[in-house]
Amino acid sequence: MPNYLAVIGDIIDSKKIKNREVVQNAMGLAFDKLRRDYQDLFVSKFTMTIGDEFQALLKPKAEVWKLLDHLMIYSPVSYRLGLGFGKIRTKINPEQSLGADGEAFWRAREAIIKVHVQNWNGRSHVLFKGSDEKQDGVINSLILSSEMMKSAWTKTQYTLFSSLINEGIYHVDFNQKHFSETIGISESSLSKRLTASNIKIYFQLRQTLGQLLEDYDDRA
């Protein structure tokens, strides 16, 4: 029986949203774009569930982390994520993740409940849970490091990060001269922005997370 990565998200401060229908429609468009961009990763597509929650079922591949960063870019609101690694014991509907059940979703639910409390003063809203506490600790430490880094970015640095992954760049080594020309700045300015933001370190952390996810030793 294969392992999956269940994702449960909920919108932060959703009660303060004045026009919930507009936000939910925008989230739906974001989900559709992710489905088109990452077809091979989806087992069951993102679905809005009770209240302002959403969930999906993904293959535990390295590119999941890029997908989740694209979700952040496409989303009109901030949210928490609980990630659960494990089996699914029920029939899977690829068109919606409602009704699917098993360890993957149980653990994703545990993770999002915990991240409500343990969010490092609002700087990290993502938590992973699998079957092995030691492996989970390593993964969550790397998630925390990358989320802390991201939380310190200025608007300009965040825009640079968005431009990088929209160009398909999600790794440390890339042609900086070509990219600087693409976004219309000098190569030296790009280099300074990359150094100040630690975006390359962020990419390194995410690459390591991808490898750990693919190599996860499920002992359940």
What is the CATH number for 124?
3.30.70.270
In contact, 107 and 85? CB cutoff 8 Å: yes
* Inside any domain, residue 210: no
pLDDT of residue 116: 92
* Inside any domain, residue 165: no
Percent of the chain with pLDDT over 90: 81
* Inside any domain, residue 33: yes
* Inside any domain, residue 110: yes
What's the number of domains the chain is made of? 1
Confidence band of 74 (pLDDT split at 50, 70, 90): very high
Residues 6+ apart with CB under 8 A from 5: 57, 58, 59, 60, 64, 83, 84, 85, 104, 213
Q: What is the mean pLDDT of residues 168-181?
A: 96
* Inside any domain, residue 215: no
Q: Which residue range forms the structural domain that includes residue 82?
A: 4-132
* Inside any domain, residue 147: no
Instruction: Flag whether pLDDT at 97 surpasses 90.
Output: no
* Inside any domain, residue 62: yes
* Inside any domain, residue 154: no
Whole-prediction pTM? 0.95
